[in-house]
Amino acid sequence: SQPQLGELTASHITPDSIQLEWSIPKGTFDSFTVQYKDAQGQPQVLPVDGGSCTVTVPGLSPSRRYKFNLYGVWGRKRLGPISTDAVTVILLCTAAPDPAQEELPSQPQLGELTASHISPDSVQLEWSIPEGTFDSFTVQYKDAQGQLQVLPVDGGSRTVTVPGLSPSRRYKFNLYGVWGQKRFGPISTDAITEDSFTLASTPCIAAPAPVMEEWPSQPRLGELIASHISPDSIQLEWSIPEGTFDSFTVQYKDAQGQSQVLPMDGGSRKVTVP
């Protein structure tokens, strides 16, 4: 039977993020999409997998009212929306003293941010948390066009790969930690992406034959098919006939002709493009 959307509520509101929660009184959805307009009035779409009932919307502006619409995707149908309004916290707002403050968990701390696994179009970031735990993180950087980009990361992660970068370009990455109503940081690091011709111009040196036999075989991509097509989403599935990949990226151009990049872990074999 057709699933139903319940209520959408906003909580954990900070100057630049809002956590949304929703109920599903009946059935299950394949995926969800959250739609809202940013401070510049541009529509934004945040995809969420069908098993989730909560998501943190990052990159918001302080002291601003936002309207969030949540849609549920079920097969070829899009149901909804259910909506809620929320106003982000004023940046200079401080919480009133809490008599039970001594009993609260200790404030977490951000350690160091480092960049590794640098390629012509991606950089892997790693960070340490010497004390406590964060609810979530956000990575902020400017793309090749100077536009601010925000990458949300869950609180249990200590690494993330930033895709869709340009070759031979210096990037500055800022990492913020979100804990309750507070945002900590940033901690920062710079990285320069590799030249896209580096691999082609590097002489190939063959390893000794006995060692090569022990190397894992190079993985191969199989077929890519599209299914579960709706007016605003498509599910992609692909096969890997041999070997394993570290990760995947789906690239496409949106209705405005802008290039979009969707990163996935190497264990995935399907994704819904909202």
Question: pLDDT tens digits for 19-38?
Answer: 999 999 999 999 999 999 99
Boundaries of domain holding 22: 8-87
User: Does residue 181 belong to any structural domain of this protein?
Assistant: yes
- In percent, the amount of the chain with pLDDT more than 70 equals 86
Encoded tokens for 234: 């498509």
Same domain, 81 and 109: no
Query: Which residues, 6+ apart, have CB-to-CB distance to 183 below 8 Å?
Result: 14, 15, 16, 17, 176, 177
CATH classification of the domain holding 228: 2.60.40.10
Count the domains in the chain.
Answer: 3
User: Does residue 93 belong to any structural domain of this protein?
Assistant: no
User: Does residue 92 belong to any structural domain of this protein?
Assistant: no
User: Does residue 242 belong to any structural domain of this protein?
Assistant: yes
Mapping DSSP to helix (H, G, I), strand (E, B) and coil, where does residue 176 land?
A: strand
User: Does residue 147 belong to any structural domain of this protein?
Assistant: yes
Reported pTM: 0.39
Same domain, 110 and 176: yes
Does residue 199 carry a pLDDT above 50?
A: no
pLDDT, one tens digit per residue, over 221-248 is 888 888 878 787 788 888 888 888 888 8
Same domain, 67 and 16: yes
Return the amino acid letter for 156: G
Same domain, 110 and 82: no
104-118 burial, b at 16+ Cβ within 10 Å, e below that, comes to eeeebbbeebebeee
Same domain, 170 and 234: no
Does residue 201 carry a pLDDT above 80?
A: no
User: Does residue 95 belong to any structural domain of this protein?
Assistant: no
Query: What Å distances lie between residue 234 and 19, 76, 114, 226, 273, CA to CA?
Result: 26, 9, 35, 7, 5
